[in-house]
Structure 1
Amino acid sequence: MTRVLIVDDERSVRFTLRELVEELGHDAIEAESGEAALRALDDVDLVVTDLSMPRMDGLELLARIRAIDPRLPVVMLTARGSERIAVRALKEGALDYLTKPFDVEEMTLVIERALEHRALRRKASRLDLEHALGRPLLGEAPAFERVLAAAVRVAGRDVPVLVRGETGTGKELLASVLHVAGARASGPLVRFNCAAIPAELADAELFGHAKGAFTGATAARRGWFAEAHGGTLVLDEIGELPLAIQAKLLRAVQEGEIQPVGASRVEKVDVRIVACTHRDLKSEAAAGRFREDLYYRLAVVELTMPPLRERRADIPQLARTFAARYADRFALPDVTLAPALIDALTARAWPGNVRELENTIARMVALSEGGVIGLDALDDTTTPVAHEGTLRAQVEALERELITRALAEHGGNQSEAARRLGMPRVTLVDRIKRYGIG
């Protein structure tokens, strides 16, 4: 539901506007001053504010709002005779203005027009963002919309961001949004998984190494920090980074300096850090498992990706999109999900979140013959645990299983097996070699 923030030091005006806004079917939030309004801006779609207020007037509030969210529409209320100041407000970014006492029908039109303007700008911004990402943004649940809007707002502020969220929620998507929606979009986007590499190699991988720095270092190598110079470095699972490396990371974040392993020189780097984790780093720091000073450097802004159970309204769209994607990958015709199956998927807990949902859909599609997939395809006994390897690894394992089964059913005849699987024989031969199928 859309939310309208009403800012006026007169209680009677706030009451009248609240009644009108709620009658139109929107949520109304009240603030009696500009300072209170700034504290209530989260998830607001429209601000209706008085021009003349003590301490912070409407023009100052407008400027502060524009600095926080330039896309948020503001409607100014002015006393008769103040039209010149109202015109100034329009030049400074207000969407519209009305004089007091206002006409209810006119106010209704202004509010609805402003909210429509907000919706159109959001849609245009989302399309631009999807184009920059090269992929659709799936989801319209309020929890998802809120964190996405927050990411877009903070993208233009060149500060470190800590992205938290349960496993499989899509933290890497939020990291990509922070990159493409910011000033560094033309620079490199580099990802480093802190949990995917042994501790003894993390130093050289992140900061690089000189020739001869250790056995096997036959040539100097730039680290991921240097590769990300001028762009964004995403540190996935930052909570798994060894404490010894955290000290060097703190220096890189704080001073913009790195020292490759085995090198005597210090290099300057210009990198924006986006750190992702499923852990509560503040608690980890209190327990001595994560540097507290590094935590505060990384968490200048903290965003939390909501779990799938908090955005159930998005599950039907996600499920249908995943089904179409894997139907195309497996060359299956006209794959659709039955309404009963969609309902069952929506009701599920999904502890593995979006990744588990995608994995489940991929498996159901791969095991189907195409056409309508019904509720019977959702079998707990055949659904793999979401945390057992990456989605790609699980899909490859499933593909290997299907190829092995098809070959067995057709007595090793590759042409028949390929026909059964709906793929060219040359592709099947390639898969047989890749997976080492005897």
Structure 2
Amino acid sequence: MNTPESVPTTHRLRLARTLLRILVLLPWLLLLLAGSYALVRFVPDEPVVHADPVEHFKYGSTGGERASGFPYWIWQALPTVCAEHLPGPGYASLGLIFEEGRDLPVGVSKRRHLGIDRVFLNCAACHAGLVRDTPAAPARLVVGMPAHRFDILAFQRFFFECAAGPTFSREFIVPEIERLSGGLGLVDRYLVYPVAIALMRERLLMLRARFGFVSAQAPWGPGRVDTFNAAKVLFNFPVQRLPARERLGAADFPSIWNQRKRMQRDDGERMELHWDGNNTHTEERNKSAAFGTGTTPPTIDLAAISRVEAWLLDLGPPAWPLPVDKTLAARGAALYAHYCADCHGASGSDFAGPKVGHVTPIADIATDPARLDSYTRDLAVNQATLYAGYPHRFRHFRKTWGYANMPLDGIWLRAPYLHNGSVPTLRDLLEPAFARPTCFVRGGT
């Protein structure tokens, strides 16, 4: 039987035990809540999906955001924070194309990864451009054509120089993100973005050092890229110690229409692809190109890449938009059939020709060898290790000794001409080399 004096004591003991249980369980409860938050926030890996194949090409992910993506709000903040490293206002000054109502340019995709939206380049950054049917007509976007305005080296240098400067820090970037986004939560303001800024800066400075050899090169200009020297960096080649002729292979972006027709040539073999014909399989060529969008073998989004590949099989260029003089065209057709068709196809839609898709030796062409020299046997051997252990391991890259004869589909959209973009117009291309312009402006619309 409880006495009046023992009741408060018993109550206090029960209360103490309850508090003790709470104190014991509270850390576990907090851990459970934190773990649940982290699970919901940081585990999902979700790209922005576009049902329409054209929109998917322009804005869909290749998987590059996983390893190489820039946090979306940092991407949006940097043109203001590092404006001195841009040639003009925003990313448009680098030649990226913005469609009305879009917050990202054509060729930039978005994916939710590790708790934040990340963005990076996709195929359209290099393979979509603007054209005007007449000087007074509005510019229209054409997918599959070379991105003749995009200055990818200036794009690269913008991020490298920004990261090396004093404003690439949370003190400058977080307030700009707050202004643009309308405000950040406590976790984002004090944890997520300060960490993201530090990690992004560290990675950019590492890449800046590894790509230091590029700083000694003259600007490539818009519409051009040095594809395979970037690959040498990824394979840890000592690029600075390579022969000078191997260190600069900048060439024009190609068009990418009619991929199905490029799978076979007249002799039944596959066409030799890339400017130098160093691969005959579009599937490998596409996965190799995806490295330029930030992918790696573990991070590439194969389903997304496959969607683009399937769509490109039969995507053709738009027709020439202006009237054609049929009399002149008939005269030109006879000349073309006699002098050009064997190497470049019967027409822009008929790729038949005994030399189409074959490599012509550099000794016969006697043209600029820089792009050819930059791709070496050592690089081809290293590329054969890519995707080792996967069903799609690279097996078809090899060194060649010339440039491939290409079909001329959509040729009116592919200026300037030749692999190095050294000829401004088709009319100039028909002139002897000594009579062609030696200086012209490129990258306009």
TM-score band (shorter)? under 0.3
Relative to its length, the structure with more strand (as a share) is: 1
TM-score for both structures, normalised by structure 1: 0.26
Relative to its length, the structure with more helix (as a share) is: 1
